[in-house]
Structure 1
Amino acid sequence: MDLLKNLFKGDKVIWIIFLFLCVISVVEVFSAASTLTYKTGDHWAPITQHTVILLVGVLVVWITHKVNYRYFQAIPVFLVPISVILLVLVVATGAMTNGAARWMNIFGLQFQPSELAKMAVIIAVSYILAKNQEEDEANPRAFKYIMWITGLICALIAPENLSTAALLFGVVFLMMIIGRIPFRKLAILVGSIAAIGIFTIGVTMLVPDNTNIKFLHRMTTWKNRVFEFASPKKDIPAAKFDIDGDAQVAHANIAIATSNIIGKMPGNSVERDFLSQAFSDFIFAIIIEELGLIGGGFVVILYIWLLIRAGRIAQKAKGNFATFLVMGISLLLVSQAIMNMCVAVGLIPVTGQPLPLISKGGTSTLINCVYVGMILSVSRYTAKLEENSSSIDTKVEDTTINKEEIIAEESLA
């Protein structure tokens, strides 16, 4: 027991949440990867690969949580330029997956630069906010620096992955609110975003279907997803419903509708054989189908618990950088989880966002493990500083008591 305490330091609740998510991931990916099993002809290959990645991820968490969080401030210096270069390369020469160029092949391994870019932005924004805090509000120049970095990264991500760019920008906006960026700056930003959004919608409506124009080819997909989500389907008779027209959403709805309180139990999903991304984008639908409303609710509680616990760690953290870093990471993870779950249950259009630490993945899983390690690093060193402070206070108190006893003895003598 003492050995485990020495190995796994930091906030114990974060460790528990992380391990629960990993266990759910192994069970559900093993069940949901039937299409991969069919393609590869190997029953164990998909889950073996995923389990190895998760084990490497646990090692990544352990190594990261041993690093003093102050060293993370240096990461954006080299990671932001690298991310920009990689994003430019992936837009120009990236491998196409599901109609989008989001991946790069490096030595035969697929790599998603947008995951590194998200990390670079979150750490950079945390550093800028920490360095520009003043008595009443943040220095206005912080807004300028944040917009330069975030705007450039999001502009490079958006053409091929609009949902990721929107998610990242939304998290940065929340961080700026927490970081006390002047309200007038945020109001101008909201107005600008609204204008850009209206312009983008107008351009999307004008772009012809199946266009081959670079940077515009994804607009057809965006338009179709919004129209399919907005079009009323409640009045369509079941016999006339086109299940192949929007197969992912339809089969996700079937998976949820055929579930119950306790579900069909792991391994008994039917819709996993029809959902093309059952092990990734729509894994929450499979979780509900197999584990029921109880299992789905438990997953939701884990993410909410993660955000609450991270908030407590941020509150106790020593220094502004640690506070903003923990809040930025937790907001990113939980916002992405909420987006994925909302897609699975049909509350928002399809976005292609994986469920953090549960969906099958390589780059995203390892980066998410780094995020967890960073939160644990802050909690570990915060607790260490508190212990050192309390021990110093105890020594001072003991010294004071000893001096009083000596004075009392001398007065009696």
Structure 2
Amino acid sequence: MERTKDFSGRSGLPSSKVKAQKKSKKKIKKYREVDFTLLAVTVALVLFGLLMVYSASSYENIVRGRESYSDVIRQGFFAAVGLFVMIFVVSNFDYHFMTMSRTKLLVFAVLVLNVAVILFEPVKGASRWLRFGGLSLQPSELAKFTMVLYAANTLKRLDILKGRKKWKPTIRVFLMMIVFAGIVVVLQSNLSIGAIIVITSLILIFLAGGTFLQLFTYVSIGISGLGILLWIEPYRMARLLNFGDPFKEAQGAGHQLVQSLYALTSGGVFGQGIGMSRLKAFWLPEAQNDFIFAVIVEELGLIGGLFLMLLLLILIYRGIRISIEAKDQFGRLLAVGITAIFALQSFINIAVVIGAFPVTGVTLPFISAGGTSLVVNLVAVGVLLNISRQSKSV
């Protein structure tokens, strides 16, 4: 075999193999290390959430004759699945794989799943879940991030378009937004998720290069639609009017918020201690789900609440940084859309719990009990990690 010689006269590898090794090194360097801060804060949120789900649900489980840890075991299973997929699959899977053609297939599948909820028995008056034996799936959680993926694919070249061509992609995103939000709100009675889909889509249109006229048009239509939805459902209007003074109907529409405020005030600065919440003992409905933040403050005090908010702010900050440093417009829009959902859900959930926003069913990301929400959120973080590994600095 012919061998090459280096400058010192020593024989080396064939030139073809040298070139192959160089190409291999370049391929290895394609991805850098994951964003460790984002990874660490996500794992911290998941572990903190498991602790608080156990604390918030243990009393009710014991009273109902179940094991105290039954809810946290279930949540832990989904956390393990979500973390595995996030770290070993999605973070290593090139986000450019989700082309528009593949995205359209995903959109169709998610829309079918969201319509299929009407075939299952409602829970607490709402049809939001698909049930398969002992497992359940909440397809509206998939709808949020699927809409972000569709919008990012549609708007990724908006900034270079001009005139009438600039309207076409934004109209497609707006119409798809209406379809997603409409199905979620009308069929599932889930106004909060519908609103998050709409707000996130409008943010993406604006950041992608949409004009103020386009944004004004779509916002006006959105506000008009919200007004109609509030008007045709009296209970929504009652929630809107009641949250300003929930004590007027402390045993009715304001009961949940009143109990939440009691939990917040009884926590003080340092809290009552882990597991020592009194309001979770059937006083505060949905203690381990939508109102888990109230239990956190009651048991860990103001310090515990601020610590959790700090973790969420770090998560949001890292998401914004990843968006800024993304190597292409598709990655930027995808990252900012995912981050916007986390930010909106965190803000709305905490605002509801402290009485600054009407009561609505929005979970606290990574903290509230719910397998679908946890797995989907972790997959979304995996996408952020993947975008960060292909950033401009690579």
Q: What is the aligned partner in structure 1 of residue 212 from structure 2?
A: 183
Correspondence for 1:216: none
Following superposition, the deviation at residue 107 of structure 1 comes to 4.2
**Are 1:51 and 2:80 matched, yes or no?**
no
Deviation at 1:199, TM superposition (A): 3.3
What SS does structure 1 have at the residue aligned with 2:122?
strand
Amino acid in structure 1 at the alignment position of 2:225? I
- The Cα of 1:340 is off from its aligned counterpart by 0.6
- Give the Cα–Cα distance (whole angstroms) in 1 for the partners of residues 61 and 170 of structure 2: 45
Partner of 2:171: 144
Q: Which of these residues, 55, 70, 85, is aligned with residue 31 of structure 1? A: 55
1:211-360 alignment runs, 5 A limit: 219-231=233-245, 233=247, 242-243=250-251, 246-273=254-281, 274-360=283-369
Given the alignment of the two structures, is residue 376 of structure 1 paired with residue 376 of structure 2, yes or no? no
Q: In structure 2, do the counterparts of structure 1 residues 146 and 245 end up closer, same or farther at CA, with 3 Å as the change threshold?
A: closer
Matches within 5 A, 1:112-131: 112-131=138-157
Letter in 1 for 2:311: L
Report the 3-state secondary structure (helix = DSSP H, G, I; strand = E; otherwise coil) of the residue aligned with 1:97: coil
Tell me how far 1:244 sits from its aligned partner.
Answer: 5.8
CA contact (8 A) 1:261 1:292 kept: yes
Q: Offset of 1:386 from its aligned partner?
A: 3.5
Distance 1:255 1:148, change over 3 A: same
Instruction: Specify every segment of 5 or more residues in structure 1 that has no aligned partner in the other structure, as ranges.
Output: 1-7, 205-218, 388-413
Distance 2:60 2:373 in 1: 21
- Cα offset for 1:168? 1.2
Corresponding letter in the other structure for 2:197: L
Contact 1:329 1:371 in 2 (8 A): yes
**What is the aligned length?**
356
* CA pair 129-37 structure 1, distance change in 2 beyond 3 A: farther
Instruction: Kindly indicate whether the alpha-carbon contact (under 8 Å) linking 1:37 and 1:46 is maintained by their aligned counterparts in 2.
Output: no
Which deviations, in whole Å up to 9, do the C-alpha atoms of 1:138-197 show, x marking residues without a partner? 822111110121111111011210111011111111111111112111111222223333
Could you tell me which of 125, 131, 146 is aligned with 1:105?
Answer: 131
Asked if the contact 1:95/1:104 (under 8 Å) is kept, the reply is no
Aligned partner of 1:50: which letter?
Q
Which of residues 151, 160, 166 in structure 1 aligns to 2:195? Answer: 166
Report the alpha carbon displacement of residue 77 of structure 1 after superposing the two structures with TM: 2.1
Q: Deviations over 1:47-68 (max 9, x none)?
A: 1111111111110211210111
**Structure 2 gaps, min length 5:** 1-31
Amino acid at match of 2:69: W
Q: Is 1:199 matched with 2:225?
A: no
Instruction: Please say which of residues 147-156 and 37-46 is displaced more in the overlay.
Output: 37-46
Query: Matches of 2:97 and 2:309 in 1, distance apart?
Result: 32
Query: Residue 378 and residue 244 in structure 1: after superposition, are their counterparts in 2 closer, same or farther (change >3 A)?
Result: same
CA RMSD of aligned residues (A): 2.1
Cα distance per residue 1:3-50 (max 9 Å; x no partner): xxxxx9410110111011012101111100022343352122111111
- TM-score normalised to structure 2 length: 0.85
Q: Post-superposition shift, 1:250?
A: 1.6
Cα distance, 1:246 vs. partner? 3.1
Q: Secondary structure at the match of 2:277?
A: coil
- Of 128-137 and 33-42, deviating more is 128-137
Deviation, structure 1 residue 232: 6.7
Greater alpha carbon shift after TM alignment, 32-41 vs 361-370: 32-41
Counterpart CA distance in 1 for 2:337 and 2:44 is: 22
**What is the percent sequence identity of the aligned residues?**
26
Q: Which of the numbers 10, 13, 28 marks the counterpart of 2:34? A: 10
- 1:53 and 1:200, CA in 2 relative to 1: closer, same or farther beyond 3 A? closer
